[in-house]
């Protein structure tokens, strides 16, 4: 599935790499959609983490990423893979940015079960292999803006959340979507200790309105930088909602439930005054304790670490999503 229209917020891939490379890359992803990871897994029984691409195809991807990096504007340079996978928020593995990469390495993602249930005619469950083979995979370069006022630009691999939902045939009572992270204190030290887990009530839960969930930008991600997701980034499957603050992008999901009422969400439960249900990126509405007007774009560190840029409404995705909030007071529904 290709994104057919190029809008201002899309980082146009044609701009930064030649057409052939672009299309060969796309066909790789298409093939994967048909082949699935199951067959690849069978060949490399214990090889983990599984690369999506055979070595040659992987080179194509790396080259494309390099081309992209060179050609894009400085504020849109891809955040280096090493940064994306070492500066994380995943409180189940600790509250410091460096905790998840350190504490999540033994995290077991296979077998996995993702249950789709609630107000649907056809509830179903996806196993680990199904996550990679049930829906055509595509690559999306998205900005992720954390509420703590830093941001990254990440090449994700995944498929629209809408695909998962449509397959379950939601009924007319399905007005919201509730998500739940794995609850496994034996594997997640933050769930065992309030000190390590920051006092959050686990499992981590999140929610979207049904139109937000069905928006084509809303991605279920199973990989980044051409590889399956590292544990610290939410393996084996996590949400990415690019126009909302990062905390909406819930990791390591085991449950997706279609519901009638607005579901509770983790950060809203913890501090309702600071974190709302909508959490749309909005430079005009400050967090009670700090400004949201600008952000620090994480690039290579060093001098570039001072890369402070203005935050855009809806994180720059307004053209695609602002319509959904027409007539809503976004100061009230923050």
Ligand X SMILES: Nc1nc2c(c(=O)[nH]1)N[C@H]1C(S)=C(S)[C@@H](COP(=O)(O)O)O[C@H]1N2
Element (H, E) at 297: strand 294-297
Q: Of 243, 247, 275, 325, which lies in the binding site for Mo ion, with binding defined by CB under 5 A?
A: 247
Q: Is 114 in the site for ligand X (CB under 6 A)?
A: no
Shortest distance (Å) from residue 239 CB to ligand X: 8
Closest by CA to 296, choosing from 311, 283, 286, is: 311
* 327 token code pair: 């007539």
By the 8 A CB rule, do 94 and 107 touch? no
Torsion angle, alpha carbons of 140, 206, 180, 183, to 10:
110
**Which partner, ligand X, Mo ion, none, binds residue 250 by CB below 5 to 8 Å per kind?**
ligand X
Site string for Mo ion, 303-322 (x = CB under 5 A): --------------------
Beta-carbon contacts of 57 under 8 Å, excluding residues fewer than 6 positions away, are 28
Closest by CA to 236, choosing from 160, 158, 166, is: 158
By the 8 A CB rule, do 287 and 273 touch? no
Q: Of 17, 89, 292, 299, which lies in the binding site for ligand X, with binding defined by CB under 6 A?
A: 89
**Which partner, ligand X, Mo ion, none, binds residue 90 by CB below 5 to 8 Å per kind?**
ligand X
By the 8 A CB rule, do 94 and 231 touch? no
Number of shown-chain residues binding Mo ion (CB under 5 A) = 5
Site string for ligand X, 38-67 (x = CB under 6 A): ------------------------------
Phi, psi (rounded to 5 degrees) for 243: -95, 0
Nearer Cβ to ligand X, position 233 or 311?
233
Q: Is 227 in the site for ligand X (CB under 6 A)?
A: no
Binding window for ligand X (CB under 6 A); candidates: 108-116, 156-164, 245-253, 314-322: 245-253
**Which partner, Mo ion, ligand X, none, binds residue 297 by CB below 5 to 8 Å per kind?**
none
Closest by CA to 104, choosing from 229, 200, 254, 199, is: 229
**Which partner, Mo ion, ligand X, none, binds residue 92 by CB below 5 to 8 Å per kind?**
ligand X
For tokens 């950060």, the residue is 267
Q: Of 89, 181, 249, 268, which lies in the binding site for Mo ion, with binding defined by CB under 5 A?
A: 89
What does DSSP say about strands 113-118 and 124-127: parallel, antiparallel, or unpaired? antiparallel
Shortest distance (Å) from residue 193 CB to ligand X: 14
Nearer Cβ to ligand X, position 28 or 146?
146
DSSP annotation of 92 reads G
Q: Which residues of this protein are in contact with ligand X, per CB under 6 A?
A: 88-92, 144, 146, 181, 204, 233-234, 246-247, 249-252
């Amino acid at each position: 599935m290709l994104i057919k229209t190029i809008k201002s917020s899309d980082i146009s891939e044609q701009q930064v790499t030649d057409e052939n490379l672009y299309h060969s890359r796309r066909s790789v992803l298409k093939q994967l959609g048909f082949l699935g990871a199951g067959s690849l897994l069978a060949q490399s029984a214990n090889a983990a983490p599984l690369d999506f691409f055979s070595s040659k195809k992987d080179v194509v991807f790396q080259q494309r990423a390099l081309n992209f990096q060179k050609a894009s504007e400085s504020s849109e340079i891809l955040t280096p893979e090493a940064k994306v996978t070492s500066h994380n928020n995943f409180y189940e593995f600790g509250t410091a940015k460096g905790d998840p990469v350190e504490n999540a390495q033994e995290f077991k993602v296979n077998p996995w079960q993702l249950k789709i249930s609630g107000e649907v005619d056809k509830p179903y469950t996806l196993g680990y292999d199904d996550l990679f083979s049930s829906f055509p995979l595509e690559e999306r370069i998205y900005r992720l803006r954390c509420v703590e006022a830093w941001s990254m630009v990440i090449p994700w691999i995944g498929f629209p959340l809408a695909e998962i939902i449509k397959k379950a045939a939601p009924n007319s009572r399905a007005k919201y979507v509730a998500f739940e992270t794995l609850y496994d204190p034996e594997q997640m030290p933050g769930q065992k200790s309030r000190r390590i887990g920051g006092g959050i009530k686990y499992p981590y839960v999140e929610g979207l309105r049904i139109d937000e969930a069905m928006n084509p930008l809303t991605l279920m991600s199973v990989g980044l930088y051409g590889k399956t997701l590292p544990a610290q980034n939410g393996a084996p499957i996590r949400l990415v909602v690019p126009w909302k603050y990062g905390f909406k992008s819930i990791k390591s999901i085991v449950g997706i439930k279609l519901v009638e009422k607005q579901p509770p969400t983790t950060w809203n439960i913890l501090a309702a005054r600071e974190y709302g249900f909508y959490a749309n990126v909005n430079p005009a509405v400050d967090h009670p304790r700090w400004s949201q007007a600008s952000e620090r774009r994480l690039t290579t560190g060093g001098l570039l670490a001072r890369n402070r840029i203005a935050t855009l409404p809806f994180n720059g995705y307004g053209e695609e999503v602002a319509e959904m909030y027409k007539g809503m007071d976004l100061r009230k529904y923050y």
